[in-house]
Amino acid sequence: DVQLQESGPGLVKPSQSLSLTCSVTGYSITSGYYWNWIRQFPGNKLEWMGYISYDGSNNYNPSLKNRISITRDTSKNQFFLKLNSVTTEDTATYYCARERDGYNWYFDVWGAGTTVTVSS
């Protein structure tokens, strides 16, 4: 079975960049599917952030404008989130998740999540 696991710093200072890794086991991220980042704010609101597809294409939530970048390392079967110029409003639990076909954007496999706090 495919499994996803997030990792990265739990504390980031305001104005810096947030960088997270999603390690995928049980399936090659170049074989198919769409690999997403979703975050959950304190108070439980969920926000889709963006994806990188099996062929390396991206799609981002316009609300994140030019702050977001999702890349991958196919040799390690990992994909990454970078969010620039963070503020305290970026404090959230960050999940990586799989979406099956790039058309029906629901998420059938999730990582356990990693909590990131933005604070000086």
Partner 1 sequence: DIQMTQSSSSFSVSLGDRVTITCKASEDIYNRLAWYQQKPGNAPRLLISGATSLETGVPSRFSGSGSGKDYTLSITSLQTEDVATYYCQQYWSTPPTFGGGTKLEIK
Q: Which residues here bind partner 1, judged by CB under 8 A? A: 44-48, 59, 61-63, 95, 97, 104-108, 110-113
Q: Is 65:83 a contact under the CB 8 Å cutoff? A: no
| Closest to partner 1 by CB, 91 or 95 | 95
Task: Tell me how far, at minimum, the Cβ of 5 lies from partner 1, in Å.
Answer: 11
Cβ-based nearer residue to partner 1, 45 or 75: 45
Give the CA distances from residue 21 to residues 10, 52, 114, in Å, rounded to whole numbers and listed in that order. 12, 13, 10
CB of 78 to partner 1, least distance (A): 18
As measured in angstroms, the least distance from the Cβ of 16 to partner 1 is 25
Residue type, 57: S
> To the nearest whole angstrom, how small is the minimum distance from the Cβ of residue 57 to partner 1?
14
Please list, residue by residue across 17-37, b when 16 or more beta carbons sit within 10 angstroms of its beta carbon and e when fewer do.
ebebbbbbeebebeeebbbbb
Task: Using the minimum distance from each CB to partner 1, give the nearer residue, 81 or 113.
Answer: 113
d(CA 52, CA 34): 6
